[in-house]
Structure 1
Amino acid sequence: MGIMTEAATAVLEYLFAVGYKYISSAHDAKNIGSGRVMQKIGMTEYQTIPDFIFDKDGRVIEKVCYKISKEEWLAKNKIK
Structure 2
Amino acid sequence: MPKTLETPRLQLRKMTPADSAEVFQNWTSSEVVAKYLTWAPHSSVEVTKDYLTFEEKNREEGWGIVLKETNQLIGNIAVIDNKPKIKTKTIGYVLGEKFWNYGYMSEALTEVINFLFETTDVNRIEAEHDIKNPGSGRVMEKSGMIFEGVLRKSGFNNQGIVDVAVYSILRSDSI
Category of TM-score, reference length = shorter chain: 0.7 to 0.9
Q: For 1:20 and 1:55, how far apart are their aligned partners in 2?
A: 27
Q: For 1:56 and 1:37, how far apart are their aligned partners in 2?
A: 21
User: Which position in structure 2 is the counterpart of 1:2?
Assistant: 103
Matched, 1:49 2:151: yes
Q: Can you list the C-alpha shifts for 1:40-59, whole angstroms capped at 9, x where unaligned?
A: 111111121110134456x3
| Secondary structure in 2 matching 1:42 | coil
- Is the CA contact 2:154–2:164 (under 8 Å) kept in the aligned structure 1? yes
- Is the CA contact 2:152–2:162 (under 8 Å) kept in the aligned structure 1? yes
Cα RMSD after superposing both structures = 1.7
Matched, 1:37 2:139: yes
- Is the CA contact 2:140–2:167 (under 8 Å) kept in the aligned structure 1? yes
TM-score with structure 2 setting the length: 0.39
* Compared CA separation, residues 11 and 49, structure 1 to 2 (3 A): same
Q: Which runs of 5+ in 1 are unaligned?
A: 75-80
Shift of 1:64: 0.2
* Compared CA separation, residues 13 and 54, structure 1 to 2 (3 A): closer
Q: Which runs of 5+ in 2 are unaligned?
A: 1-101
Out of 120, 124, 135, the position equivalent to 1:22 is: 124
Out of 13, 35, 40, the position equivalent to 2:114 is: 13
TM-score with structure 1 setting the length: 0.79
Greater RCO (Cα-Cα under 8 Å, separation 6 or more): 1
Q: Report which of the two structures shows the higher radius of gyration computed on alpha carbons.
A: 2
Number of equivalenced pairs: 73
Identity %: 34
